[in-house]
């Protein structure tokens, strides 16, 4: 049951995680300050212009018109909050988690902490970050004690961009705190936003829960990716094998192969687990390292398959016109972060291919050098020596592609036509 809401909330970071949270908080009745240090992003938000899949311009317009959503880069606007949620990126740098954004957010908030307030970290990170890194900065900057004078908790984000079934409000939310009181306060806040909260014993458990979720996906995707390579060598249809296995009503969960992994979680998050294992235990997390190896090399494998496909027709990659269908990392999303399609494009470009691409959702600014964006039109499809399906957007006219493409390498099992070779 979602309780009624009210009060002042600050959301640090207005990206793929923070903006949907801010919109939901406005919807249920909070006064929300959406803070981001990226002034260009804030200017877009003030104009009700979206840049992510899960919040459209109409939703932004409604939030702004309510008077309860204020996007800003002005730190003074953070004063007087009751709850602050930190949703900033935690990228990998040289194989290690970069906590600079978390640390900066803590320093920014510390100057505005008041007794009785609550601060929640949502950024994905390794176990121990909340209590060993985040809390000391808050305490040092405010002179207040966490768990005594203010509450602190960790609640990992579970945003799945472009998922129209599981949205922010109906996805169960893991909640935790540095003590029992903090956990209760954090849970009360999220109970006002989502349909179900799941408390765990402490912040370390919550931090590790996020890593387990994404490592599970990463490892299983790597399993079917390696199986796809193996099946091709055996002359076996991997998609038929997966379909057959998925008929088992217990003990199996369906995962499908593709050109690799990307996005805001994979393959970054599982590497936190491997990094901490080496640091704390002196040993590697072997499943993560193996999965990284398999998934990172899938773009190379797609290029090898493309080369083989062209060679069978006595064509070289150099000079061949290759049409890439999809550049985003997943279907129905315009998100190109760490997209394996981009890696495929860069490798083919280096081999001298004449590359063009169709993707109705991606920002043109994200298109790599050497790739020409073209409309999904019969003449563009027919001109291609090879079409490679890398992202299976529902918005594509698949029937058009099937009618006009002579040769297709389909890494997503979407095209049904003669001349199609599947991963």
Most distant pair of Cα atoms in the chain: their distance: 74
Alpha-carbon gap, residue 276 to 284, rounded angstroms: 9
Query: If we measure between CA atoms, which residue out of 308, 297, 296 comes closest to residue 232?
Result: 308
Which candidate in 231, 265, 356, 376 is catalytic?
265
Phi, psi of 9 (to 5 degrees): -120, 135
Rounded-to-5 percentages of helix, strand, coil across the chain: 40, 15, 45
The owner of tokens 């317009």 is 61
The string of DSSP codes covering 132-148 is IIIHHHHHHHH-PPBTT
Contacts of 420 (CB under 8 A, 6+ apart): 408, 410
**Tokens encoding 374:** 């073209």
Answer yes or no: 87 catalytic.
no
Burial of 301 (0-12, 13-18, 19+ CB in 10 A): buried
H helices of 235-352, in order, are 238-245, 268-276, 286-296, 298-311, 340-350
Tell me which H or E stretch contains 100. helix 100-110
Alpha-carbon gap, residue 312 to 110, rounded angstroms: 64
Buried b (16+ CB within 10 A) or exposed e, 347-378: bbbeeebbbbbbbebbeeeebbeebeebebee
**Tokens encoding 218:** 């990463």
Burial of 230 (0-12, 13-18, 19+ CB in 10 A): exposed
Helices (H) and strands (E) in the chain, counts: 15, 16
Burial of 144 (0-12, 13-18, 19+ CB in 10 A): middle
Write out the catalytic residue numbers: 265
């Amino acid at each position: 049951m979602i309780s009624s809401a009210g009060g002042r909330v600050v959301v640090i970071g207005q990206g793929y995680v923070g903006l949907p949270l801010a919109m939901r908080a406005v919807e249920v009745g909070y006064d929300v300050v959406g803070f981001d240090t990226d002034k260009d992003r804030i200017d877009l938000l003030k104009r009700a212009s979206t840049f992510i899949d899960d919040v459209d311009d109409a939703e932004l317009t409604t939030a702004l018109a309510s008077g309860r959503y204020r996007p800003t880069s002005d730190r003074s606007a953070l004063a007087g909050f009751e709850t602050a949620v930190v949703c900033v990126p935690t990228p990998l740098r040289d194989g290690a988690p970069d906590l600079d954004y978390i640390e900066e957010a803590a320093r920014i908030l510390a100057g505005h902490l008041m007794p009785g307030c609550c601060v929640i970290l949502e950024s994905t990170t390794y176990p121990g970050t909340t209590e060993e890194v985040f809390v000391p900065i808050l305490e040092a900057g405010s002179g207040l004690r966490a768990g005594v004078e203010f509450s602190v908790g960790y609640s990992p984000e579970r945003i799945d961009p472009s998922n129209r079934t599981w949205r922010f409000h109906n996805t169960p939310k893991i909640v935790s705190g540095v003590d029992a009181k903090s956990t209760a306060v954090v849970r009360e806040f999220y109970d006002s936003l989502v349909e179900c909260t799941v408390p765990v014993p402490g912040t370390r458990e919550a931090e590790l829960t996020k890593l387990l979720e994404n490592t599970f996906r990463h490892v299983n995707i790597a399993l079917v990716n390696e199986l796809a390579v193996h099946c091709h060598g055996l002359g076996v249809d991997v998609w038929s094998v997966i379909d057959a296995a998925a008929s088992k009503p217990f003990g199996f969960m369906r995962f499908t192969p593709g050109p690799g992994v990307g996005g805001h979680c994979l393959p970054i998050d599982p590497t936190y687990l491997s990094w901490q294992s080496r640091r704390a235990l002196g040993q590697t997390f072997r499943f993560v390292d193996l999965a990284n190896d398999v998934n990172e090399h899938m773009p190379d494998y797609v290029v090898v398959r493309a080369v083989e496909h062209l060679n069978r027709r006595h064509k070289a990659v150099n000079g061949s016109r290759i049409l890439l269908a999809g550049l985003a990392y997943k279907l129905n999303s315009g998100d190109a972060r760490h997209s394996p399609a981009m890696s495929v494009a860069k490798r083919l470009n280096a081999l001298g291919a004449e590359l063009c691409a169709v993707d109705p959702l991606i920002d043109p600014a994200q298109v790599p050098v050497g790739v020409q964006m073209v409309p999904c039109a019969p003449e563009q499809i027919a001109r291609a020596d090879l079409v490679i399906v890398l992202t299976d957007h529902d918005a594509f006219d698949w029937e058009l592609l099937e009618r006009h493409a002579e040769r297709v390498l389909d890494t997503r099992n979407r095209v049904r036509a003669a001349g199609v070779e599947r991963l």
